[in-house]
Amino acid sequence: DGGITQSPKYLFRKEGQNVTLSCEQNLNHDAMYWYRQDPGQGLRLIYYSQIVNDFQKGDIAEGYSVSREKKESFPLTVTSAQKNPTAFYLCASRVTSGGYNEQFFGPGTRLTVL
Amino acid sequence: DQQVKQNSPSLSVQEGRISILNCDYTNSMFDYFLWYKKYPAEGPTFLISISSIKDKNEDGRFTVFLNKSAKHLSLHIVPSQPGDSAVYFCAATTDKLIFGTGTRLQVFP
């Protein structure tokens, strides 16, 4: 069964700690994305990667880091430099040659920083 | 700077009636527009899209209208069903996908 998995679904961390959110896809998609959703706001792009070992900053990359060592994996680290990390984080992927109507989202991780 | 705006945060519609969700944009370079549906604690799922060269696209109960001169997009759902209750995001693309703020639709019996 192909799809995108994100783990864990809920994550709690103390302020000042780094935390890494997992995103795995078995769709053989080239491009992967991380978005953040806050109440009353749309999804905002944090980072994206179109090929392995390459990634670009999105609109709100400050305080986040990513890696793309494997095609199927695109973990996101929320660092202590992120001033307001509590949010719902969504990972997505698509075939680069395809349209955004073929972009699939994972189920999301809700991060709460205490 | 919000390039894609959904000015109605919520909408309540009776089952069987029409739901109309609106979206405005500012960037005339957007070439493709999409609507996504999102349930709580889940990722968005693609619903319907329209190219900037068209003014209407229909898929079953869902129709998207594009008015380029007004930079306005709308999604019509007819007839509305309780299962349509969700948050709807419009989005637009150039080289990136830019989302609106979302409209929460509630369809009541």
Find out whether A2 and A104 touch, Cβ atoms under 8 Å.
no
Taking the CB of residue A85, how many other CB atoms lie within 10 A of it?
Answer: 21
Q: Report the C-alpha gap between B84 and B14 in whole angstroms.
A: 11
Name the DSSP letter for residue A73.
B
Residue spans per domain, chain B = 4-108
Q: Which residues of B touch A88 (CB under 8 A)?
A: 41
pLDDT in tens, A76-108: 999 988 889 999 999 999 987 777 778 899 999
Q: Which residues of A touch B44 (CB under 8 A)?
A: 43, 90, 105
pLDDT exceeds 80 at position A2: no
Residue B79 Cα, gap to closest chain A Cα (Å): 24
Task: Tell me which residues of chain B have a pLDDT lower than 70.
Answer: 1
Residue of B nearest to A4 (CA): B43
Q: SS3 breakdown of chain A: % helix, strand, coil, rounded to 5?
A: 5, 50, 45
Closest CA to A66 of A83, A52, A85, A84: A52
Q: What is the CATH number of domain B4-108?
A: 2.60.40.10
pLDDT exceeds 80 at position A69: yes
pLDDT in tens, A41-55: 889 999 999 999 999
User: Where is B68: in which H helix or E strand?
Assistant: none
Across A15-20, average pLDDT: 92
pLDDT exceeds 70 at position A1: no
pLDDT of residue B66: 98
pLDDT of residue B56: 97
pLDDT exceeds 90 at position A57: yes
**Contact at CB, A40 and B91, closer than 8 angstroms:** no
Q: Does B44 touch chain A (CB under 8 A)?
A: yes
Q: Which residues of B touch A9 (CB under 8 A)?
A: 41
The tokens of B30 are what?
A: 């957007």
